[in-house]
Amino acid sequence: MLCLAWLANLSQAATPTDIDSLRREAKDLEQRGVWGQAARLYDEIYRRDRNLTDAHEGYQRCLRHLYQQRRFDDPLYRQLIGRLKSRSEDALSLYKQVLLVLQDTYVERTKVDFSLLYQSGVKELQAALQKEAFLSEHLAGYKSEALDSFRARLGRAASRKVQSADDAREQVLALAGAAQTAGLVSRAETICPAFAIEFACGACAALDEYTLFLTPGTLEGVHTALRGKGVGVGLEVVVAEGQVAVVQVFPKGPAIGLVGVGDRILRIDRQPLDGLNTEAVAAMLRGEVGSTVEVEVITPTDMDPQPRSLKLQRQPCVAPSVVAREFWESSIPLGYLRITVFQESTLQEVKEALAHFQSQGVKGVIIDLRSNPGGLFKVGLAVTELFLRDGIMAYTQGQIKTYNGQEFPAETPIPLSLPIVVLVDSNTASAAEAMAGALKELGRAKLVGQTTYGKGTIQCIISLDESKKLPCAIRVTVARFLSPTKQAYSGQGVVPHLLVDGTSLDAEVAAKQLLLEILGIPQMSPRGPLPMMAPDA
């Protein structure tokens, strides 16, 4: 659920409340090429009114531009193209493989029309030819008249029908030849790999906003995120409005105690970070185990903020996905469990947290799924099992057998039987929605907060080169999932029992009070939030 994760971290500047103002601002940002912020605004418009399909189209359009720009900025992508320049046949085979994988795995096989995928590739290449990063990298020294001639040829290809993956492959090869004929390049083979990758990316983008061609740098980031492991200094950062902000400091990481959430990173190894995106900054923080990186940091909230230089030694770091604490209310021990994402380590982290709660005699638990974008669907179900004794957790529908059937809780674990209240919001998505929906419909928990995002699909990472010579993959939507009562999540979300449209603190107060009511505990304490429950805890 990558697009949700980084969109949630984009700048949250003051936003107009009226949809027309939002639309004007989104269009202005799109025209100026501020793709990320434009996508966030289009997404907000669509979530306010699901009938505004033009806003959803704007969201998808800006996402495509943003992914494309990130691709052009990825040094590993440029290395890939460099290796393929003398192996255009490999690049064309990679494109063909993408088409066939989409045909065999995408949730709706009838939507995988080769003409549609090819035409979407034409659009991707047309967009690339508008970006200086692509032109300077692949068409250095081009003449304007040659580019105009080729663009006209490409425009005529936009409506071409293709019958098969082989046909689409041959058309891309023909376009590379047309680039040579137009005088853009001296040899078609040199531009063919860049064209093939753009067509592969366009094919994926034709289906939905979650299906994506993963270039080497992006693939590395996805695997790191899902595993929760990497070598670095133990910081998660995001670039917003030109500033590099620290959004998480990992426990036991090299930066713990030296850098705090909200700090700004000004330089890395004395190099300014102007113009770099989140992935590029994160890559600068990574490196070989034991190597040292110099980070210049400032804390904006200090009375007299001054930059400070830190030398940090890179170490293997584990990004925790669970925050667990117990707290007391009316002399009763209660538990707070926040799950930020479902990654490989999450199940064990939750088990350890629940064991700790039981050892402390906790009488009820608040599970916080706010801003959880999902992650590994099977891990989400495995965590849900820890709270259920029986019943169908979800139905899945797709071409792949693994994701086409009913999902039951395992019989071996002894589920937690304590009362549960679950916090959700409009950024609770995918596997987190499946968990919230199952606990709600099976009568296992009460939900508090806002209606969830409404993403009822499952994505898998499929490698495109088993030899590892071309480290690429696609993230493809392989299935949709339904609630235990066969209700769709997509476009609907999960409606909580208790809707709280106020601040996050209002929702926390409501969740605490509801849990106390379930336990039959008189509420003697004054109204107030739980100090440990802020979403950035």
What is the percentage of the chain residues whose pLDDT exceeds 90? Answer: 57
Integer angstrom CA distances of residue 119 from 125, 327, 374: 10, 57, 31
> What is the per-residue pLDDT for 43?
86
For residue 334, what pLDDT is reported? 95
- The pLDDT > 70 percentage for the chain reads 92
Residue 7 pLDDT more than 60?
Answer: no
| pLDDT tens digits, 203-253 | 999 999 999 999 887 887 777 777 766 778 988 888 877 789 998 888 888
Alpha-carbon distance values, 263 to 10, 237, 280 (Å)? 16, 10, 18
Residue 14: pLDDT above 50?
A: no
Distance CA 106, CA 253 (A): 39
pLDDT band at 17 (very low <50, low <70, confident <90, very high): low
Span 395-436, pLDDT tens digits: 999 999 999 998 888 765 678 899 999 999 988 999 999 999
pLDDT for the residue 469: 65
Query: Mean per-residue pLDDT for 435-459?
Result: 95
Output the pLDDT for position 466.
56
Q: Which long-range contacts (CB under 8 A, 24 or more apart) does 433-436 make?
A: 433/374, 433/489, 433/493, 433/494, 434/377, 434/380, 434/381, 434/384, 434/393, 434/394, 434/481, 434/483, 434/489, 435/369, 435/380, 435/381, 435/383, 435/384, 436/369, 436/494
**229-318 shares its CATH topology with 322-533:** no
- SS3 state at 462: strand
CATH 3.40.50.720, applies to 322-533: no
- Could you tell me which residues come within 8 angstroms of residue 89 by beta carbon, excluding any fewer than 6 positions away? none
Reading the block at residue 30, the tokens are: 């799109």
**Cα gap 20→460, rounded to integer Å:** 37
Four-CA torsion 97, 102, 104, 107, nearest 10 degrees: 170
Span 95-109, mean pLDDT? 95
pTM over 0.85: no
The partner residues of 448 in beta bridges, in order of sequence, read 423, 498
Q: Is the pLDDT of residue 5 over 50?
A: no
What residues contact 469, with CB distance under 8 A and at least 6 apart?
none
What confidence score (pLDDT) does residue 472 get?
Answer: 85
**Per-residue model confidence (pLDDT) at position 482:** 94
- Bridge partners of 449, per DSSP, are 424, 499
Helix (H) or strand (E) holding 511: helix 504-519
Instruction: Work out the pLDDT band at 48, boundaries 50, 70, 90.
Output: confident
Query: Alpha-carbon torsion 302, 304, 307, 309, what sign?
Result: negative
Angle at 38 between CA 501 and CA 25, to 5 degrees: 80
Whole-number pLDDT of residue 300:
92
Q: How many other CB atoms sit within 10 Å of the CB of residue 282?
A: 21
In the predicted model, is pLDDT for residue 276 greater than 60?
A: yes
Helices within 332-476 (DSSP H only) = 346-359, 377-385, 431-441
Domain boundaries, the chain: 2-210, 229-318, 322-533
pLDDT value of position 483: 94
In 3-state terms, what secondary structure has residue 232? Answer: strand
Res 198 pLDDT > 70 = yes
Lowest mean pLDDT among 98-107, 263-272, 302-311, 526-535: 526-535
The CATH superfamily holding the domain 229-318 is PDZ domain (2.30.42.10)
Average pLDDT score over residue span 270-277: 84
| Lowest-pLDDT choice from 11-25, 144-158, 311-325, 472-486 | 11-25
Query: Looking at residue 347, what is its pLDDT?
Result: 95
pLDDT per position as a tens digit, 292-341: 999 999 999 998 999 999 999 999 887 788 989 999 888 899 999 999 99
Residue 182 reports pLDDT greater than 50? yes
494: which 2 tokens? Answer: 């999960």
Query: What is the overall mean pLDDT for the chain?
Result: 87
Q: How many CB atoms lie within 10 A of CB 136?
A: 12
324: phi then psi, degrees, rounded to nearest 5: -135, 130
CA dist., res. 385 & res. 387, Å (int)? 5
Q: Cα–Cα distance between 431 and 458 in angstroms, integer?
A: 8
Strands 264-268 and 243-249: antiparallel
> Which phi and psi angles does 416 have, rounded to 5°?
-70, 125
* Distance set, CA 133 to CA 82, 128, 195, 276, 362 (Å): 15, 8, 14, 14, 56
- Give Cβ neighbours of residue 454 (< 8 Å, ≥ 6 apart): 47, 429, 433, 489, 490, 491, 492, 493
Minimal CA–CA distance to 392: which of 340, 444, 457?
A: 444
Assess contact for 369 and 345: CB atoms under 8 A: no
Q: How confident is the model at residue 383 (pLDDT cuts 50, 70, 90)?
A: very high
The β-bridge relationship of strands 420-424 and 365-368 is: parallel
108-141 pLDDT tens trace: 999 999 999 999 999 999 999 999 999 999 998 8
pLDDT of residue 40: 84
322's tokens: 């669970």
Question: Residue 533 — very low, low, confident or very high, per pLDDT cuts 50/70/90?
Answer: very low
Give the burial string for 34-72 (b: 16+ CB within 10 Å, else e): bbbbbbbbbbbbbbeeeebeebbebbbbbbbbbbbbbbb
Q: CB burial class (10 A; 0-12, 13-18, 19+) of residue 327?
A: middle
First vs last C-alpha separation in the chain: 22
